[in-house]
Amino acid sequence: MTRTGLPVVLAFAAAGAPLAAAAADAPPAAYPQGAATFQTDCAVCHGAAGAGLPSLAPPLLSYPARYAASTEGRRQLAMTVLYGMYGDVAVEGRHYAFRMPEFGQLDDATLAALVNFVVFDLAHAPASVAPLAPTEIAAERSQPLDGAAVREHRNSVAPEDP
Ligand code: HEC
């Protein structure tokens, strides 16, 4: 290790401290299992709090709540996690054209809890919106798509696409 190694480690530790404090202050997740899956499989691109990363992955703090309020939007959420998505999308006025991987290796209940964490804990959908059921994931699993088709379907549900 070089002489510069230690200050780098200390700088990371200092930067991590306020993050840890913020997490402790956050209200408990309504979907803790979904939260755990999110941190394992999604946070690397969408950020631990779902705010996204500029030009890499979109924020998940508003659109998922709108999708969950319509039948086609609920299908879109299930398709996105099952099959991934690629092609240009606009989210809150910014464009993203990277590749969302597929997570069809996770079972229906795990994916439903994950989507519900995104919809209710990150995007704050109102209580009038019903949580996604594992059967809604299963229905999309029975009709395989590729990520380009998932992107096409999004045209029918996206709030805006400038
Ligand atoms: C490798 C980076 C990456 C990972 C990991 C990832 N995503 Fe994505 N996600 C993206 C990208 C990029 C897009 C936009 C795709 C496009 O441009 O067509 C996206 C789009 C989405 C959308 C659609 C947003 C919209 O407005 O249509 C949802 C919902 C989503 N991701 C949820 C998740 C969840 C849940 C996980 C964890 C299982 C996850 N993502 C893991 C990169 C990622």
CA of 17 to the centre of ligand 1 (A): 28
What pLDDT digit, counting tens, does each position of 86-136 carry? Answer: 999 999 999 999 999 999 999 999 999 999 999 999 999 999 999 999 999
Question: Domains of the chain by range and CATH?
Answer: 29-154 (1.10.760.10)
Report the predicted TM-score, pTM, of the whole model to 2 decimal places: 0.87
Are 64 and 129 contacting, i.e. CB atoms less than 8 angstroms apart? no
Structure-model confidence comparison of residues 95 and 17, the more confident one:
95
Is the C-beta atom of 87 inside 6 A of ligand 1?
Answer: yes
Is the C-beta atom of 63 inside 6 A of ligand 1?
Answer: yes
| pLDDT score of 116 | 98
| pLDDT score of 25 | 65
| 75 band by pLDDT with thresholds 50, 70 and 90 | very high
Interatomic CA distance for residues 15 and 33, integer angstroms: 27
Please give the DSSP secondary-structure letter assigned to residue 155.
Answer: T
90 beta partners: 95
The beta strand positions in the chain, using DSSP E, are 85-86, 89-91, 94-96, 99-100
| pLDDT score of 44 | 97
Quick one: which atom of ligand 1 is closest to the CA of 103? Answer: 38
Report which protein residue has its CA nearest ligand 1's atom 22: 80
| pLDDT score of 161 | 52
Radius of gyration of the chain from its Cα atoms, rounded to whole angstroms: 17
Q: Which of 16-20, 35-39, 156-160 has the highest mean pLDDT?
A: 35-39
